[in-house]
A = this chain, B = another copy of it.
Amino acid sequence: MKNYTLKDISELAGVAPITVSRVINNDKYVKAETREKILRIIREKGYHPNFAARSLVLKKTKIIGLMVADLENPFFSRLTRGVIQTAENNGYNIITCESKFDNSIGKKYLNMLMDKGIDGLLLANMNVSTDTINDLRRRRIPFVLLTCRMEMPDVNYAIADDYQGGRLAADYIIKLGHKNIAFLKGPDISSSNERFLAYKREMEKNNLEIKDYFISEEVINQYGGYKVTTKLLKEHKDITAIIAINDFVAIGALEAILDLGLSVPENVSLIGYDNINFTKLLKVPLTTINYPKYRCGVAGTKMLLNMLNSKKLNFKERVILKNKLIVRKSCSQIN
């Protein structure tokens, strides 16, 4: 009942420690017979190499940090699955943190993460400051942005095209004849900003006025969607359609609309974004934009793994996937 070290094993086998190390690392310069003997002893004694010692000399932990904005948004659950599965298939583990869209929280946990000796970092939908980027560079921690982007040299990302998706949503609503279209805005992140930009451009292109109350304050979750929608519809009866920054927010909005005694889409059309699980089964099946979450997680993780294996930091890689309109029942023609 003790914890064996490599040295213990070497003594039991009557060889030098380095020989045991060679066996563990599949070095070919070990006689078959010696190898078997050592493996037998390792198995018998239940020996496992010490992770910390190994990391210390190899300067690698095979751990990747993942920072997501909101653990309970199914969008991130799906993304995370892509990340974890890809990492595990390559011998890496994932440490997850939650930024809650709050930069100071994000920074705090980021530091915690970096101090843990992670080999690389995945930042999902986080507004990264130049400070943070510099920090990461100084500490030589390779990173990849997920579902958001920054156009800076050597900042790599895997995203779906939010501007394209945003147009899909706005176009669809506008073509249905709506004119007073509100937009439930998200936090200041590229994904959210580009969706918003697409909305504005399409409104302009179609000569539709954007009254200032069309644009909500920043909303980051279901509850926010509920609050903002309630206020909006109470004060402005002219709104006939709402574009939500994402499904999570849209679900809050839907709840609010129904609680106000209104109907979707008869009184208000509602479109979301992301196509998270369950939106199909909501009281009013939600029309939305499908975001390839899983694929995005996989692509970003693979990109990071490439960076880790090739050692050079001046990569330039980006993956931009496409979104798709999913028509369900939450939008209708205006009469």
Query: Which residues from chain A sit less than 8 Å from chain B, CB to CB?
Result: 1, 3, 46, 48-53, 55-56, 59, 61-63, 71-72, 74, 77-78, 80-81, 84-85, 88, 91, 93-98, 109, 112-117, 138-140, 222, 251, 254-255, 277-278, 280-283, 285
Q: How many copies does the complex hold?
A: 2
- Distance (Å) between the CB of A17 and the closest chain B CB? 16
Contact between chains at B281 and A3 (CB < 8 Å)? no
- Distance (Å) between the CB of A104 and the closest chain B CB? 14
Task: Report B-chain residues with C-beta under 8 Å of the C-beta of A55.
Answer: 51-52, 55
Bound Cα distance from A87 to B81, whole angstroms: 21
Bound Cα distance from A213 to B96, whole angstroms: 42
Partner of A84, one of B62, B71, B278: B71
Partner of A95, one of B1, B52, B94, B277: B94
- Distance (Å) between the CB of A51 and the closest chain B CB? 3
Whether A277 contacts B48 in the complex (CB less than 8 A), given A88-B97, A96-B94, comes out as no
Contact between chains at A96 and B97 (CB < 8 Å)? no
Contact between chains at B77 and A81 (CB < 8 Å)? no
Bound Cα distance from A282 to B98, whole angstroms: 27
Residue ID in chain B nearest A56 by CB atoms: B52
Task: Report B-chain residues with C-beta under 8 Å of the C-beta of A88.
Answer: 97, 109, 112
Task: Report B-chain residues with C-beta under 8 Å of the C-beta of A283.
Answer: 281-283, 285
Bound Cα distance from A1 to B138, whole angstroms: 7
Whether A52 contacts B93 in the complex (CB less than 8 A), given A72-B77, A251-B278, comes out as no
Contact between chains at B251 and A138 (CB < 8 Å)? no
Bound Cα distance from A56 to B251, whole angstroms: 48
- Distance (Å) between the CB of A146 and the closest chain B CB? 16
